Amino acid sequence: MPNPRRSLRRKDITELARAAWSRVWPEPMPRDWKVYMVRKTVIQEAFGRGVCGVTLRDRKTILVGRHTQRYSFETLVHELAHLRTIDEGIDHGPLWTHEFNAVARAAFGVELRKDIDWAQAEMRAGRAIAPPLPSAAPLTGGASVRGIA
């Protein structure tokens, strides 16, 4: 049972998210969105035991759980794909499946399996987690988030 007096400690990882986004998609991540890493129990108490990350559309916030069994960097990219396809009516629909499995997985490959601390260390050392790929083309199906930027 978590201590109710514990404060909600969140770590702002928005810049890391923007760097990851720019590696995968050609347009910039919407500037008014924030990304935080929080204790996974915070997410699981509100959204269910199996949830490691969540996109809060009304608050323009993405929460990524720390130390999840799923690798945190993969969870971050998973949630960025949700932001990319935010106008899609269903949670893991065909546009999201394309963006995450075909586009983002191709851009990161095995790096998705690393912990989020790896990506932060790369950025602190002055190494980009990777330059944008020329093959990352925008979707033609209208699944852009430009309307919310």
Alpha carbon distances (Å) from 122 to 59, 118, 127, 128, 130: 29, 6, 5, 7, 10
**Between 76 and 72, whose confidence is greater?**
76
3 — pLDDT class (breaks 50, 70, 90): low
**Between 57 and 134, whose confidence is greater?**
57
Find the mean pLDDT for residues 95-121.
88
**Between 33 and 147, whose confidence is greater?**
33
**Over the chain, what is the mean pLDDT?**
81
pLDDT above 90: percentage of residues in the chain: 49
Domain assignments of the chain as residue spans, ordered by start? 11-123
Q: What is the pLDDT of residue 5?
A: 60
CATH number of the structural domain 11-123? 3.30.2010.10
Q: Is the pLDDT of residue 22 over 90?
A: yes
Q: What is the pLDDT of residue 138?
A: 42
Q: What is the pLDDT of residue 41?
A: 87
Closest C-alpha to 31, from 22, 18, 12, 13: 18
Find the mean pLDDT for residues 56-74.
85
26-47 burial, b at 16+ Cβ within 10 Å, e below that, comes to eeebbeebbbbbbbbebbbeee
Q: What is the pLDDT of residue 30?
A: 95
**pTM of the entire predicted model:** 0.77
Neighbours of 148 (CB within 10 A): 13
Find the mean pLDDT for residues 89-99.
92
What phi and psi values does residue 61 have, to the nearest 5 degrees?
A: -135, 140
